[in-house]
Amino acid sequence: MLVKNALLRFYAELNDFLPAPLRQVAFTHEFERTRSVKDAIESLGVPHTEVDLILVDGSPVTFAHRLRDGDRVSVFPVFESFDISSLTRLRSAPLRNPAFVADVHLGRLARYLRMLGFDTAWPGDVPDDRLAEVAVGENRAVLTRDRGLLKRNAVTHGYAVRSKEPSAQIAEVVSRFDLSAGVRPFSRCLRCNGLLREATQEEIERKAPDRVRQDASGFRFCLGCGRLYWRGSHYDAMQRLVASVIESGAGVLEECAGASGDTSDAPPSTGRSGSGQESECEG
């Protein structure tokens, strides 16, 4: 069968996925059978969810474009700072209200996102099919380190998390989805992703231990699971997390990784003043 050639060039962070010799250069991609540009891109290791614009000989194409001999293909990532509004982007619209579904390995990242107020499902150890269903059915972007999951056609919004450190992962996600303006700290339950509202006196009396009821403040009630939160000993650490994420610095985050890991074990602090609410969680 006749071997055909296309000239491919990947831009910006898409090069992260390529073998070293193919990064930042135009290279010849050989193919025999007719194949879609999506298949060609993913055969090189780049999940299609990372791609926002494909130009063939200077004109935008869809993922279904059939590669032809001699095609010159430029592949661009999701743009954050370039104005390409005059071109046809592959995704019709960004997710207006960012919402996520994280895979089983990203539980800590899911809690960090909830801490910042972002709607983040974490279904746990479920098959990839189920994760994809949640993404499509609930209009959520998939967060995973499994590139195979992002290659599924059904998954249109997603991000291949690069780092293994939750502290760096949250900085990546905030940057990639441009989330910093939408941060609403302590508005969402870390355990169940439910929304928090101010607790009523009745809820406080029913759920808070005596010592807490007398001394703590800023009580919040989860509409999802009924947990009560109050301002506690992790307050400062969580404030630092929020501040450092907003500033896109990941350095401080590692210090509070443990603090946010399981808030229910720690004793509440008492008599602390300040604005904001959250922290201790009682089942």
Contact residues for Zn ion, defined by CB under 5 A: 189, 191-192, 194, 222, 224-225, 227
Question: Alpha-carbon distance 70 to 51, whole Å?
Answer: 21
Minimum CB separation from Zn ion for residue 227, in Å? 5
Minimum CB separation from Zn ion for residue 230, in Å? 14
65, amino acid identity: H
Rg from Cα positions in the chain? 23
- For residue 35, which of 77, 12, 68 has the smallest C-alpha distance? 68
Q: Which is nearer to Zn ion, 221 or 235 (CB)?
A: 221
Minimum CB separation from Zn ion for residue 225, in Å? 3
Q: Which is nearer to Zn ion, 122 or 159 (CB)?
A: 122
Minimum CB separation from Zn ion for residue 189, in Å? 3
Q: Which is nearer to Zn ion, 182 or 224 (CB)?
A: 224
Residue sitting closest to Zn ion (CB): 189
Number of Cβ atoms within 10 Å of the Cβ of 132: 19
Q: Which is nearer to Zn ion, 207 or 227 (CB)?
A: 227
Residue 126 burial (10 A CB sphere; 0-12, 13-18, 19+): middle
Minimum CB separation from Zn ion for residue 194, in Å? 4
Q: Which is nearer to Zn ion, 25 or 225 (CB)?
A: 225
